[in-house]
Structure 1
């Protein structure tokens, strides 16, 4: 059996955030104005600043005094004053709403204020943002699983749904979901999982004009108006898609080793001694992604964004691009990264049992809000990418 490798072009349409789990404060970043008047967020290394100043024989008494007194505002001012080009790890563009909040908070204590920024994943010593192959593979796996589930005959589907409902009532839905995946993909343990045959390389994007820092908001929709829920205040670095002024595009590869979709039989059940398990092809992947992600997007669009005010006009353009890509035989759509919403990372609605907080022993309602990126007053969901098979 051959190992087939496909070259894939990835075009982020909206923002994409693959997090590191790290939060950055004013002790890690600064927004500077360039000679042309542009505002640029720069992530700097405080260790590099100190090392450079020591090598230059500079006076560090101000830094030591601020540290001894635990005066974090003075420590911040020291680093911001002494940033050099070699101390900058990477730059990002900023939204106007992020900059306004930055100006409001920069005089406050850097540890206590609301200026924390969620950092985006980049390999060590690199300025280039990356979508890991594992993130793309996870999105593809979700789509393929849902596609097979939806194509079960009515009796099989109803039987599995009855089992799911019983396990859900026993709070065993997580364990059942694992069993359901094994049934659908026809494997008994992880080493026989057909997705072992699929490997996807990391996608690395150029640093220039591909990174943006901005605010995220939690919204709800009612009476044709988007309402922002003020409790949520998140600031994050994202890969900047084409709908928000970016030029991020890059290539990756998807390899499928068909030899891993066969297992050796102990008996003589067929003449070759092999059992054919679930096979995954590039055609299957594209078809499953376009079916699953488009259906879920359309449901989200109709529930939250259709016929509402001008704050979501940009989503109309997203809808058009996703619809065109999902109908192109050489393309498929995916949603990856944080804030992709539970509907896009789990089984379809009938088999979905998201874990939500409880209030007074009752679960909160799920799926009533969306987390979106605030692009200068326009709200846009995160994570959407177009993938084009080049060869």
Structure 2
């Protein structure tokens, strides 16, 4: 009897775009889009980025009533401040040109259906590490996908007659799972023997963690009118989502452990026949998901939806992995949003509630339970796109025992990965160049603002000091100070006028000073007069002698 764990290292390759929902969105008040980048920022970063006047403007907006109009004003405000926010952004994600254009067209704008516009500017976030902002494949998502495959295996997959497999009327999902897995409480659930942690992104930090795409809804079968195919109403559905990009070889690594109970049997333990080996687990996943993928490829291909380059890459990967599939050392899974009801329900008991539209007689919405959906969600670059689309959610899982190493990734697919890395590096270089340019511009602006503030403060201090000094001066002293200030103003303006206001003020003081000023003030005026004429120049010869005589008279009075 052996007890313990068998532990497997997992390498996970996203084969198609993945969106693992968090219930959180990038709100249009938390990001700006510039060029091909979405720049996400926190409130703290926004406050750092905004100058005092802009913060006051934002506070004025936020003090308004909490209405749709306020949300639009806040959106528009951040959009206008984009060049200040971009250098302070904490996270940058590539976006499609079409999404950038839609953002520019709609942000902060008025529309007939305003709430729809606001909702369409929300971008659904994928699961990620809060510190690094790198994406994560949650162990719960991976384990949930494995659980579905094992439930299908226990239920007989597609091999049992419908009357045996069919879910009883009004039966609920959890009781049905308990019946298949034969448990009444958690300890008896065989999945508790399967331990699977989060799979971390192990790519270099300079690579792109996520990207922004459209999720669009397309009909599985053509909708025709008068013999011509038309777009169905459902095809107007679209969402903007953050995705893990596809075809990143072994981008994620995780660990799976299977608890081994040997021959131990107790009522509270899972049944022995429901204690799976890794090989049985891999076989169940492959048996459940591979037919779904093949059927989807065939169906989407027949509708000309599929991206041909992506389809060729999938075929190349599947062919290269056939030996590992056969050895039960690799398997397919489907995880995340838009995986399709067929990937999360069991063969033979699948019953999907389909909206059949309005009943002409009653006007009420009709629903019908069907074994397949009528539409499929696909990753797109444009909301009107009907070609070059990619399904969501597919991953390849490779496994080796914890003390073994993975084989080399196939050469052709490595080259594809290198091409993608080169494109990512080019995008990131462009983003960093843009941020650097804006950062330098803002730093220069802040330096100018700081210099202006310091100059204003210095001027205020000097004016205060001058006012305090003037308060202690006599009337003659204040007139002398006013004349000095005028001389300084002309110097700063590089103004030299022999017959200007400065010269006229000086001449007006000569007579008054000789008649009534104290000696010390007369001497000060004489010195200041020579300084003034030294700057603006002496008048013509006759006037020059007159002014020199007036200055001399001031000095004689001062020395008398």
Change (3 A) 1:67 1:305: same
Q: CA deviation at 1:354?
A: 2.5
The residue number in structure 1 matching 2:390 is 380
**TM-score when scaled to structure 2?**
0.58
Task: Tell me which structure has the larger Cα radius of gyration.
Answer: 2
- Alignment equivalent of 1:351, drawn from 330, 349, 352: 349
Report the more deviating stretch, 8-17 or 205-214.
Answer: 205-214
The residue number in structure 2 matching 1:36 is none
Change (3 A) 1:326 1:103: farther
Q: CA deviation at 1:263?
A: 4.2
- Alignment equivalent of 1:127, drawn from 105, 129, 133: 133
Q: CA deviation at 1:29?
A: 1.3
SS of 2:128 mapped into structure 1: coil
Distance in 1, matches of 2:292 and 2:271, equals: 34
Report the more deviating stretch, 223-232 or 307-316.
Answer: 223-232
Q: Indicate whether 1:370 and 2:370 are aligned.
A: no
Distance in 2, matches of 1:226 and 1:315, equals: 26
Question: Whose helix fraction is larger, Structure 1's or Structure 2's?
Answer: 2
Change (3 A) 1:367 1:262: farther
Q: Indicate whether 1:160 and 2:164 are aligned.
A: yes
Q: Deviations over 1:133-156 (max 9, x none)?
A: 0000000111111122226985xx
1:90-239 map, 5 Å: 90-106=91-107, 108=109, 112-113=117-118, 114-150=120-156, 160-161=164-165, 164=167, 167-168=168-169, 172-174=170-172, 177-205=173-201, 206=203, 208-222=207-221, 229-239=234-244
Q: CA deviation at 1:369?
A: 0.7
Distance in 2, matches of 1:63 and 1:13, equals: 44
Change (3 A) 1:381 1:227: farther
Distance in 1, matches of 2:122 and 2:351, equals: 32
- Alignment equivalent of 2:312, drawn from 302, 312, 317: 317
Q: Deviations over 1:338-357 (max 9, x none)?
A: 11000001111x20123445
The unaligned stretches of length 5 or more in structure 2 are 65-69, 224-228, 359-363, 402-560
Q: Which has the higher contact order (CA 8 A, sep 6+)?
A: 1
**TM-score when scaled to structure 1?**
0.81
1:323-342 map, 5 Å: 323-324=318-319, 325=321, 328=324, 329=327, 330-342=329-341
The residue number in structure 2 matching 1:62 is 57
Q: Indicate whether 1:389 and 2:386 are aligned.
A: no
Q: Deviations over 1:83-137 (max 9, x none)?
A: 154x423221122332332233235269744322111122323311111000000
SS of 2:398 mapped into structure 1: strand
Q: Conserved in 2, the CA contact under 8 Å of 1:49 and 1:79? A: no
The residue number in structure 1 matching 2:516 is none
Aligned length: 362
Change (3 A) 1:233 1:390: same
Distance in 2, matches of 1:306 and 1:226, equals: 18
Report the more deviating stretch, 377-386 or 337-346.
Answer: 377-386
Q: CA deviation at 1:201?
A: 1.2
SS of 2:129 mapped into structure 1: coil
The unaligned stretches of length 5 or more in structure 1 are 34-38, 267-272
Distance in 2, matches of 1:261 and 1:354, equals: 40
The residue number in structure 1 matching 2:407 is none
SS of 1:390 mapped into structure 2: strand
Change (3 A) 1:339 1:153: closer
Distance in 2, matches of 1:23 and 1:15, equals: 18
SS of 2:351 mapped into structure 1: coil
Question: Whose strand fraction is larger, Structure 1's or Structure 2's?
Answer: 1
SS of 1:372 mapped into structure 2: strand
Q: CA deviation at 1:255?
A: 0.8
The residue number in structure 1 matching 2:39 is 42
Distance in 1, matches of 2:254 and 2:125, equals: 23
Distance in 2, matches of 1:139 and 1:318, equals: 23
Distance in 1, matches of 2:45 and 2:263, equals: 50
Distance in 2, matches of 1:142 and 1:274, equals: 17
Q: CA deviation at 1:374?
A: 0.3
Q: CA deviation at 1:59?
A: 6.0
Q: Deviations over 1:232-281 (max 9, x none)?
A: 12000000111xxx567121000111239954259xxxxxx996351111
1:272-287 map, 5 Å: 276-287=272-283
SS of 2:19 mapped into structure 1: coil
Change (3 A) 1:20 1:388: same
Q: Conserved in 1, the CA contact under 8 Å of 2:306 and 2:390? A: no
The residue number in structure 1 matching 2:535 is none
Change (3 A) 1:248 1:384: same
Distance in 2, matches of 1:274 and 1:25, equals: 45
